[in-house]
Amino acid sequence: MNKIIPGLALFTLFTVCTAAGMELASDGKTQYAIVCDPEAPPADRFAARELKMFLDQSTGADFKIVASAPDKGRFIFLGPLRQAKKIIGEKRFANLKNQEAAIVSADDSIAIAGQGKLGTIYGVYSFLENQIGCRWLTLEGDNIVPKHRTL
């Protein structure tokens, strides 16, 4: 029986910037934390858990999910956080259409944020697929998660 993921066909990735020179993890260690507001919508909190799970599996590192970021550090900002909008650009973020996402890197941080109920999770899956190399073969959990000693 074929299953269709509702709304996936509506997804359009707005921007992907390759994080040239950024090292997310090496030898099972990371200096990055995933920032997601604990009061964010359920889909954004789910996106944070998915990103953590697949990055952990791929690198062997433990990517922490934190509620806020100190002034300095290396972060992956998820959802419409102030820091994510600053990296993406307020105008660019505001111009995203329903279910679109932007993935932008700047300095030592990455912002993944989208509009609509599922925009951010679509951005996370796009990042995992296009930058990390993950593949989802079936809805039953048949996934390919490439191992990266250095990512």
CA dist 89 and 127 (Å) reads 18
Instruction: Please state the pTM of the whole predicted model.
Output: 0.84
Tokens at 123, concatenated: 């951005």
Q: What is the mean pLDDT of the chain?
A: 87
Please check the confidence at residue 141 and state whether its pLDDT lies above 70: yes
pLDDT category of residue 127 using cuts at 50, 70 and 90: very high
Of the candidates 96, 133, 131, the one whose C-alpha atom is nearest the C-alpha of residue 17 is 131
Residue 52 has pLDDT above 90, yes or no: yes
Q: State the pLDDT at residue 7.
A: 38
pLDDT classification of 59: cutoffs 50, 70, 90:
very high
- The residue type found at 10 is L
pLDDT recorded at residue 119: 97
pLDDT at 19 exceeding the cut of 50: no
Distance CA 131, CA 127 (A): 5
Where residue 5 falls among pLDDT bands split at 50, 70, 90?
Answer: very low
